[in-house]
Structure 1
Amino acid sequence: MRIAAAWSWRILVVAAVVALVGFVIVQLRLVAIPFFVALLLAALLVPFSNWLQRHGWPKWLAVAVNELAVIAVVAGLITVVVIQVRSGFPDLQKQTLAKYEELKDFLLASPLHLTETDIENYFDGLVTSISEDTSALVEQGFDLASLGGHILAGTLLALFVTLFILIDGRGIWNWVVKVFPMRARPAIIGAGEAGWLTLSTFVRVQIFVAAIDAVGIGLGAFILGLFYGGFPLVIPIAIAVFLASFIPVVGAVVSGGLAVFVALVYLGPVPALIMLGIVILVQQLEGHVLQPLLVGAAVKVHPVAVVLAVATGGFVAGIPGALFAVPLVAVLNVMIGYIGRGEWRTNPHPSVADVTSPIVVPRRRREG
């Protein structure tokens, strides 16, 4: 009983702290989400910026090149998707309505004895359910009327935070470390360095995996269109697969389903089945080769934990929660493991010497 009680109150304290942190993050989600996005961008860009500086580039130029590259890539992807979707959406809508009428005629003539009212009620219920689920994932408490302003403000905030991390990330980290007591600083520094290395590795590996998914499904859709008279929206589908792949497991399934839907609407059932086979093949390659060998080695988290983290993050915080769940779990796993092993006692990180001195507050000079 004493052991159970000792464990119980400690678990309750930890759970209370986690709940409090989660509550604060939810309340400050307009700031927290851009901040987490900035951390992911910085984890990708800081090594490249340091590499440029080691090869003789001035710091201001290396930082400017990285920041402008992010803006150019994001703006380019958005522009391509908007142009392609605007040109192909009217035809997609027309084809979707035509396929709906064909399906309705098939169901009316089937042995199910369905009436037109039954079919319309089923489809209305399906559309309503999808709309509610999508709104719950996307909005997360935001007003749709102000969602555009939130996105713009969040984008600017993420870019500013990324810029400051590129300029003085080490100084910011040293300031954070000095908030902790002297005895805790070696553990915090070593755990933070290990977590940052894991986050950087995860982002680079995940970009590689997402690119393979996008190329595989996009190339399959393009080849399928060559044999069946054209496959529209190939580029937006490939970009959607690339972006959705940053949400492990779930993202690839959803984006692959979009490709299958477009194939069904434009080309028919047989090409849609072929597209489904291509999506499954690419996802099997990701799930059984790329994820275990690359992502698994980078995050050091079991695949079951990855699935549970994505599901929990999506349930708690929607799309942002699913996006940040795996890197958060990976970083916490590495940091807690580092502190638990006690390596910081016998082999402290070299940067410990920079922040082991206490904060000195200068005394104000007496006047008179």
Structure 2
Amino acid sequence: MSSRRQEQPSKVRREVVEQVPYGLRVGAALSWRFLTLCGALAVLVFLVGYFASLVIPVGIALLLAALMAPAVKHLVAWKVPGWAATTIVLVGGLLLVVGVLVSVVAAFVNGVPELQAKVVVGIDQIKDWLVHGPLQLTPQDLDQYVGRFVEMLKSNISTIATNAVNTTVTTAVGVGELLTGFLLLLFTLIFFLHDGSNIWSFLTRGVPIRARKRVDVAGRRGFASLVSYVRATVVVAIVDAVGIGIGLAIVGVPLAVPLAALVFLAAFVPIIGSLIAGSVAVLVALVANGPIEALIVLIIVIAVMQLESHVLQPLLLGKAVSLHPLAVILVIMGGLSLAGIPGALLGVPVLAVLNSAIRSLVNEDDPDPELVDPTNRADAVVGGKGEEPA
């Protein structure tokens, strides 16, 4: 009797379900799963934003580890102790960065007087073009427009001063946070370089034994993609900076070295960074040298960017880190809106790691972890010990 009572509601439910169109059932099933994923991603984004002061330094430290760890590995292979190899690479990297910054600042200070002189001449040329060019503005109209601009600045001077005071107070707090973040970055980078293999071994122990090998391979290949990405980005940044810097020096644009350094730093944000840095170089050439020189600089920037996009990136990155340009732009803009410049800097590397790791996880024909090429293994790249994860 009880079994009949249980079968009757079950039969009614099946009849009710059968009355719902198949497409609606599939759509509803996909919808609640999609909403669940969106909720999980929202929580993840919230946590990353909440702990941004921790996530950003660790993320940048991981990027620097991907750049420096191969050097540590080679030194260890030459029988240099792990702690000594880490110290040599870290101190050498810091000295290199400080030396480059000092040279760039010195070049900027030395180039400011020349820039000021050329800016005055450039502004006079622009005024002459506005008066005698196609626009045919009268000197009175030009003076009127300049006067309006000056009045606008004067009317907003109180707001600017108030914001400056607030910025000073905020900067005092921001400097402390920046120093703390730098120390955390340095501390994390030391452990990534010296003990990265054991850190990865500890993390994989939290994965079920049945899936541990596959996750291990995915992690190794994800980090190998990060190493490839960072190496390729550095090479591309150097080529961009040298190419544009030489072009600026030949044309005679002032501050060629600082502008080349700006191009180098901006190249770490793919597509958008090079575009912004190139625009700044063209603008400086326009104001300091004139429209003909600015057009030449624009041609140089376009040529270098074409070399980067069609030759360097496909050749250096290859299939392991191949990302569609639309995905790159969307990730950069999303990271920029979520975390500013650090988000734009870290967005593409995160996408590259996830792309490689997920492809490894879903590939059923993946080889056994023991057969993976050692040059693609995370424990062969991170840390100098080369230990096998548990």
TM-score by length of 2: 0.78
> Whose RCO is larger (CA < 8 A, sep 6+)?
2
Summarize deviations over 1:155-195 as a string: whole Å, max 9, x none.
22212111101111011111112223333322321211110
Structure 2: distance between partners of 1:103 and 1:39 = 48
Aligned position for 2:54: 31
Structure 1 residues 355, 245: closer, same or farther in 2, change over 3 A? closer
- Aligned residue type for 1:26: G
Q: Structure 2: 5+ residue runs without aligned partners? A: 1-23, 372-376, 380-386
Summarize deviations over 1:219-254 as a string: whole Å, max 9, x none.
1111222xxxxx322211111111110111111111
Aligned position for 1:365: none
Aligned position for 2:220: 193
Alpha-carbon distance, 1:12 to partner: 1.9
Aligned position for 1:77: 100
Aligned position for 1:52: 75
Summarize deviations over 1:265-298 as a string: whole Å, max 9, x none.
3222211111111111111111221123323534
Q: Structure 1: 5+ residue runs without aligned partners? A: 226-230, 357-368
Q: 1:146 aligns with which of 164, 168, 173?
A: 173
Q: Is 1:64 aligned with 2:91?
A: no
- Aligned residue type for 1:217: I
Alpha-carbon distance, 1:256 to partner: 1.3
Secondary structure of 1:301's match? coil
Structure 1 residues 94, 154: closer, same or farther in 2, change over 3 A? farther
Structure 1 segment 197-208 matched on structure 2, within 5 A? 197-208=224-235
Secondary structure of 2:269's match? coil
CA RMSD of aligned residues (A): 3.0
TM-score by length of 1: 0.82
Over alpha carbons, which structure has the higher Rg? 2
Structure 1 segment 166-245 matched on structure 2, within 5 A? 166-225=193-252, 231-245=253-267
Aligned position for 1:285: 307
Q: 1:295 aligns with which of 292, 308, 317?
A: 317
Alpha-carbon distance, 1:349 to partner: 5.0
- Aligned residue type for 1:23: F
Aligned partners of 1:205 and 1:298 also within 8 Å: no
Alpha-carbon distance, 1:116 to partner: 3.8
Deviates more, 1:346-355 or 1:248-257: 346-355
Q: Is 1:6 aligned with 2:29?
A: yes
Structure 2: distance between partners of 1:121 and 1:316 = 37
- Aligned residue type for 2:179: L
Alpha-carbon distance, 1:75 to partner: 1.1
Structure 2: distance between partners of 1:62 and 1:323 = 28
- Aligned residue type for 1:149: G
Structure 1: distance between partners of 2:308 and 2:389 = 42
- Aligned residue type for 1:169: G
Secondary structure of 2:268's match? coil
Structure 1: distance between partners of 2:124 and 2:146 = 11
- Aligned residue type for 1:283: M
Secondary structure of 1:297's match? coil
Aligned position for 1:319: 341
Structure 2: distance between partners of 1:55 and 1:312 = 43
Aligned partners of 2:249 and 2:256 also within 8 Å: yes
Secondary structure of 1:4's match? helix
Alpha-carbon distance, 1:7 to partner: 2.2
Alpha-carbon distance, 1:95 to partner: 4.2
Structure 1: distance between partners of 2:96 and 2:251 = 28
Aligned position for 1:165: 192
| Identity across the alignment (%) | 39
Secondary structure of 1:171's match? helix
- Aligned residue type for 1:194: R
